[in-house]
Amino acid sequence: MFYKRMLSNSLGVMLGLLFLICLLVDSHYKWMKPLRAQIYTVINPLVEMKVLLKKKQDDFGFYLKGTPALRAKIEQQEQEITRLKTQQALYPVLQEENQNLRTLLKVSQGLGYRVKMARVVQHLQKDGMQAVMVDKGRLHHLQVGQGVMNESGVVGQISEVSGLSSRLILITDLNHALLAENHRNAEVLILEGTGQDDMLVAHDVPKTADFQIGDLLVSNRYLKRFFTHYPVATITKIENEGLSSVVYAKPVVNLSALHFVMVNMESQDDQE
């Protein structure tokens, strides 16, 4: 072991002396210059290649380190683009809803009624049932029996109430009936629901009654549940059945496309 260490130290000393001798010879004699140039020609590309590889390695390491942050940034930008596209798609809908609310407010203020605005959140149509759910309930002072309208005409009335929502039975429901009058001559009839959102019917109308196709039927003046003389339906067909007639009418309101409605807050004590 001792001899190996001595040999290693001697070899280091010899290489050191040889290096010093080369330096001295190179500084005093020119004949080593071509050899030095050749050595430089061989070694310089290797050094430059090593520097280049080091730089590429550093760049690649930086890329790898930056990838998660870069991906997170790209994902954030994609989410923002999706949000902006969604807002752009919703803008016409929101604009229409805003216009509907403005119209409802103008109607209620113009008629002088105290109303509560409600948004339709669900349509319930099955086996003759014609109803919707609205986003207002007992906590908003809604009660069973209150009349409901929109900017065009009569919609229906509140049939069930919970804390934050209510069920609204439409005038076209099979279990709904409404006393209406002819706007032209004030003759009255009872409009019943048919289970179809575009048709009402009045049975056993006397033939002597003066109803014509195209007549506008409005809410009866004595029925305080709805706005007085508010549009209900337009007569579309009259059929004779013996001593009486059957009158068919189409609701003024498009009941299949309800968005916002007005609940008459002054009608809770009025019951049919």
Closest CA to 136 of 100, 106, 117, 164: 164
pTM: 0.62
* Residue for token pair 């010093």: 20
Task: Provide the pLDDT for residue 168.
Answer: 96
Residue range 1-51, pLDDT digits in tens = 544 445 455 655 665 566 566 656 656 656 556 655 565 565 566 656 666
Residues 233 and 251 sit within 8 Å (Cβ to Cβ): yes
- 32-41 per-residue burial string, b: 16 or more CB within 10 A, e: under 16: eeeeeeeeee
Task: Provide the pLDDT for residue 222.
Answer: 81
Residues 146 and 161 sit within 8 Å (Cβ to Cβ): no
Task: Provide the pLDDT for residue 4.
Answer: 45
Name the average pLDDT for the chain: 79
Closest CA to 188 of 215, 224, 155, 157: 215
Task: Provide the pLDDT for residue 106.
Answer: 64
Spacing of C-alpha 27 from chain mean position: 85
CA angle 82, 83, 89 (to 5 degrees): 90
Task: Count CB-CB contacts under 10 A for residue 51.
Answer: 10
What single letter denotes the amino acid at residue 12?
G
SS3 232: strand
Q: Please, what sign has the CA dihedral across residues 173, 177, 183, 189? A: positive
Dihedral pair phi/psi, residue 111, rounded to 5°: -85, -15
Residues of the chain short of pLDDT 50, as ranges, are 2-5, 7, 269-272
Q: Domains in the chain, start-ordered, CATH in brackets?
A: 1-112 (no CATH), 115-264 (2.40.10.340)
